[in-house]
Amino acid sequence: MSSYNDFLSFPKEEDQNAHREEVNESAFRQALERLGKGKPSPRGTGGGKTVANKPRPARQADPTQRRRKFVQDGDVRVEHHSLATGRATPRAIHAQQDDRSEIEQLRHKVQFEQKLREQAELRLSEAQAQIRSLTTRIGHADVIAAEHKNRLAAQDAELLSVRAELYNANEENSHLHEELNRLKAKQRTVETRTAAAQPPAAAPDDATPADEPEPVKWWLR
């Protein structure tokens, strides 16, 4: 029974496909040969003789190239349709909508980033302008502060000079006071010594007639 089944078993699918490809290729070659025979043969240059067609060598199958397959009975024809042409499926439409929504989101995000960048650049320019203004004001303030420092230094030098003069005047005044006190003490000492050396003055007596001057006798002249 098993041998009968093996004898009547159908060839495998791979064998069938290979056999079909060979049959299709041979049929395609025969059709090309028939088309070539139907065309008029080209005339030769030297006379009326026709040039015999040389047999073409058998074309070797390139393993890298894919063989053409013709649809046979019982085969299912598969067609690939791109999303750009033909009627799109709901899944493709949904994918396109998702892509479009994602593109819109990316576009809005880019616009938002551009606005943020513009705002940041505007703030940066304003900050730079404020920095330049503050730098100018600081420069003017430094100049004014330097002028005030110079004035204060001159005033301090003048004040030190006045203080030195005042100190010298005070020293001279103290020396003069000391000299005056010394002279006063010396004068008091001299006066005391002079008073002690003089005798006491006598009390004045009553005037006598002898002491009085004699009257002038004017009538004797």
Residues facing residue 50 across a β-bridge = 43
pLDDT value of residue 158: 94
Token pair recorded at residue 33:
């040969």
Cβ count within 10 A of residue 184: 10
pLDDT digits (tens, 9 = 90+) for 54-85: 555 555 555 445 555 555 666 666 555 555 55
pLDDT value of residue 24: 72
Residues facing residue 43 across a β-bridge = 50
Confidence band of 50 (pLDDT split at 50, 70, 90): very low
Work out the mean pLDDT of the chain and round it to a whole number. Answer: 73
Comparison of pLDDT for 183 and 205, the residue scoring more: 183
CA distances from 130 to 86, 123, 137, 139, 180 (A): 62, 10, 10, 14, 72
Give dist(CA 85, CA 79) in Å, integer: 13
> What's this model's pTM, rounded to 2 decimal places?
0.34
Percentage of the chain modeled with pLDDT above 70: 52
Going 176 to 178 to 181 to 187, the CA torsion angle's sign is negative
Comparison of pLDDT for 191 and 144, the residue scoring more: 144
Average pLDDT over residues 87-94: 64
Q: Which of 52-56, 68-72, 99-103, 174-178 has the highest mean pLDDT?
A: 174-178
